[in-house]
C-alpha cells in the first residue's frame, strides 16, 4: 500500500466571508515531486500554510503522514518549509542560522547545510541580508534540508530569481531529493521549470482543487484533436472538452479522453504540461470544481 505523505479531506480556510480554500480533497503519495500551480489568489499559499500548521482549518482536515501538523514537535520534525520571499534573519550569517537551527530542531545535520553552501561558494560568515536573492534562496533551502524532512513544502521559492539562479536552485533541490527520498510539494508559476522536475501535478483554481494526479497519467489522458467542425454534442472517446476553438470548417479541441478516438476523423496531438495547465485555468469560469485523488 502506498504511503500518503500529505492528505486533505474537505479542507477549507475562510478569511471573513470569503473562502481562500474550499472543499479541498487529495492524497499525495510519499516519494513524489509535485507541482502546485494556479493563478494568484487560488489558495496555494493558504494550502501550504495549513499543511505546515501555521493556519487552522475552518473546515475539513489536513494530515502529514497521518498526523495533524499542529500536533506538536514530533510531526513538525518531518516537515521542511521555505516560505515565499525566503524570509531569513537578515542580520544573521549563514553559520548563525545553522547554529540556531541546531538549537531549535530535534533532528539536525549542520554538516549537510555547510557542505551544500560550500559547494555553491556561499560565504557562511556574511549576513544573509547582504547576499544575492539566489544565494538567500539557497541558504533557506539548505536550512530546510538540514532537518532531513520527510515532506518539503516550497512556496514560490524561485519566483524572483534569474534563470541561472533558478537552475542552480532546482539542481540542488533535485540532488537533495535523490539523496534523501524527500516528498516535495513545490508552488510556482514557472511551468517550464516544473515540467522538468515534477512527476505529479496539483492545480488550484478559484479556491478548489481542479485537477490532480501523476503528470504522466494526466498527459496520457489528455490530447488535442483537430478535425471537422463539431457542434456541442458528445465526441466518441472524449470524456470532456476542456478547451475548444472553431473556424467555419475546423474544430480544435483539448480534451480528456475515456476511450479510443476515431483517427479517421481526428488528427490527435500530444500536449505539454503547460498546455494542460493553461487549458484548465482558461476553463475555470465554466467548469465545476473537481475533488481529486493523487495516486502513485
Residue in the block written with cell 458528445: 234
Report helix, strand or coil for 152: strand
Residue 296 clears pLDDT 60, i.e. is over it: no
Compute the mean pLDDT over every residue in the chain, rounded to the nearest whole number: 90
Q: Using CA atoms, how far apart are residues 162 and 233, in angstroms rounded to an integer?
A: 47
DSSP letter (8 states) at residue 130: G
pTM of the model: 0.89
User: What's phi and psi for 43, nearest 5 deg?
Assistant: 115, 10
- Alpha helix segments (H runs only) across the chain: 44-51, 73-76, 94-104, 110-119, 133-146, 163-180, 191-197, 215-221, 273-282
Residues 279 and 254 sit within 8 Å (Cβ to Cβ)? yes
- Predicted local confidence at residue 288, as pLDDT: 35
* Of 185, 180, 253, residue with least CA distance to 222: 253
Residue 84 clears pLDDT 60, i.e. is over it: yes
Sheet order of strands, 59-64 included: 18-29, 4-15, 59-64
Q: Using CA atoms, how far apart are residues 85 and 159, in angstroms rounded to an integer?
A: 8
Question: How many CB atoms neighbour CB 40 within 10 A?
Answer: 7
As assigned by CATH, the class of the 4-216 domain is: alpha beta
pLDDT band at 193 (very low <50, low <70, confident <90, very high): confident
> Domain ranges in the chain?
4-216, 221-282
Residue 91 clears pLDDT 70, i.e. is over it: yes
Any idea of the CA torsion for 247, 249, 255, 261, to the nearest 10 degrees? -170
- Alpha helix segments (H runs only) across 77-120: 94-104, 110-119
- Predicted local confidence at residue 249, as pLDDT: 93
Sheet order of strands, 267-269 included: 238-246, 250-257, 222-228, 267-269
pLDDT in tens, 236-281: 999 999 999 999 999 999 999 999 999 999 999 999 999 999 999 9
Residue 86 clears pLDDT 70, i.e. is over it: yes
Q: Cell for 207?
A: 479556491
- Predicted local confidence at residue 287, as pLDDT: 37
In Å, what is the CA distance from 164 to each residue of 88, 95, 169, 279, 289? 22, 25, 9, 29, 37
- Predicted local confidence at residue 173, as pLDDT: 84
Residue 233 clears pLDDT 90, i.e. is over it: no
In the chain, what percentage of residues exceed pLDDT 90?
72
pLDDT in tens, 150-183: 999 999 888 777 888 888 888 888 887 888 889 9
Residue 295 clears pLDDT 70, i.e. is over it: no
In the chain, what percentage of residues exceed pLDDT 70?
96
Residue in the block written with cell 561558494: 121
Amino acid at each position: 500500500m502506498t504511503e500518503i505523505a500529505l492528505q486533505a479531506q474537505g479542507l477549507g480556510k475562510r478569511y471573513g466571508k470569503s473562502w481562500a480554500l474550499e472543499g479541498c480533497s487529495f492524497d499525495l503519495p510519499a516519494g513524489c515531486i509535485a507541482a502546485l500551480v494556479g493563478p494568484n489568489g487560488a489558495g496555494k499559499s493558504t494550502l501550504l500554510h495549513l499543511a505546515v500548521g501555521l493556519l487552522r482549518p475552518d473546515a475539513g482536515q489536513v494530515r502529514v503522514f497521518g498526523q495533524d501538523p499542529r500536533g506538536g514537535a514530533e510531526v513538525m520534525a518531518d516537515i521542511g518549509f521555505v516560505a515565499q520571499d525566503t524570509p531569513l534573519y537578515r542580520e544573521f550569517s549563514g553559520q548563525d542560522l545553522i547554529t540556531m537551527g541546531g538549537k531549535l530542531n530535534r533532528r539536525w545535520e549542520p554538516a549537510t547545510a555547510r557542505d551544500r553552501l560550500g559547494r555553491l561558494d556561499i560565504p557562511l560568515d556574511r549576513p544573509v541580508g547582504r547576499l544575492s536573492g539566489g544565494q538567500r534562496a539557497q541558504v533557506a533551502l539548505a536550512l530546510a534540508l538540514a532537518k532531513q524532512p520527510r515532506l518539503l513544502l516550497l512556496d514560490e521559492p524561485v519566483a524572483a530569481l534569474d534563470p541561472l539562479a533558478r537552475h542552480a536552485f532546482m539542481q540542488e533541490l533535485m540532488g537533495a531529493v535523490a539523496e534523501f527520498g524527500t516528498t516535495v510539494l513545490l508552488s510556482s508559476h514557472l511551468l517550464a521549470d516544473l515540467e522538468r522536475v515534477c512527476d505529479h501535478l496539483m492545480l488550484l483554481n478559484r479556491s478548489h482543487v481542479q485537477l490532480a494526479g501523476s503528470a504522466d497519467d494526466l498527459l496520457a489522458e489528455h490530447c488535442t484533436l483537430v478535425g471537422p467542425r463539431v457542434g456541442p454534442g458528445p465526441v466518441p472517446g472524449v470524456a470532456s472538452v476542456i478547451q475548444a476553438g472553431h473556424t467555419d470548417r475546423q474544430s480544435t479541441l483539448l480534451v480528456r479522453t475515456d476511450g479510443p478516438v476515431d483517427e479517421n476523423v481526428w488528427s490527435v496531438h500530444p500536449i505539454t504540461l503547460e498546455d494542460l495547465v493553461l487549458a484548465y485555468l482558461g476553463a475555470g469560469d465554466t467548469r465545476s470544481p473537481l475533488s481529486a485523488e493523487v495516486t502513485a
